[in-house]
Amino acid sequence: MTAPVTPSAIGPDEARARLHRCTVIDVRTPGEYASGHLPGALNLPLDHLGRALPALRDAAGRGDVLVVCASGNRSARAAGRLAGHGVAAVTLTGGTTAWAARGYELDRPAACATRATWSMERQVRLAAGTLVLLGLVLDLLVHPAFRLLSAGIAAGLVLSALTDTCGMAALLARLPHNRPRPADLDDVLAALRGR
């Protein structure tokens, strides 16, 4: 087994200066990726990293691998997972949000190629808010036990904040609009091998 390496992080300015010599991997869902990504980034959702390890190891041998997401949290987890397999990767501090805040360009696929969806954070806020509201309405109209739904969502949000994980995001990522098609993954792996 390959010896683990230590992942590192860089800010948007340094990432922009190094972008031309990096293989950029965006670990967000396909819908989030379609809403705007770093120029030249390949979409490889976080839960598919294992399948791409050999190609990512080869890419790291040829140059820097920059891992990005919306805020830097998922990309930091991805860089940590890659480091555990001996693949050196750098994460973008603040993610595409920080990149865009600096005024740097984001690429967006052609409108007909991929449908843009809401960010995962926005999807979680909508789902959590809807479930809390539903629990309160059902509490008033049907039975007081439905307030447990609202309490459960509140407890889940607190746990999510304390552990910096999100079970609801993991579930929402499995919805069809957030899942890559197998052909898309094959194209990404082929592009990784070709760089």
69 is catalytic: yes
DSSP characters over the chain: -PPP---EEE-HHHHHHHGGGEEEEE-S-HHHHHT-B-TT-EE--GGGHHHHHHHHHHHHHHSEEEEE-SSSHHHHHHHHHHHHTT---EEETTHHHHHHHTT---B---TTT------HHHHHHHHHHHHHHHHHHHHHHT-GGGHHHHHHHHHHHHHHHHHT--HHHHHHTTSGGGSPPHHHHHHHHHHHHH-
Looking at 22, 69, 112, 166, which residue is catalytic? 69
Q: Catalytic site residues?
A: 69
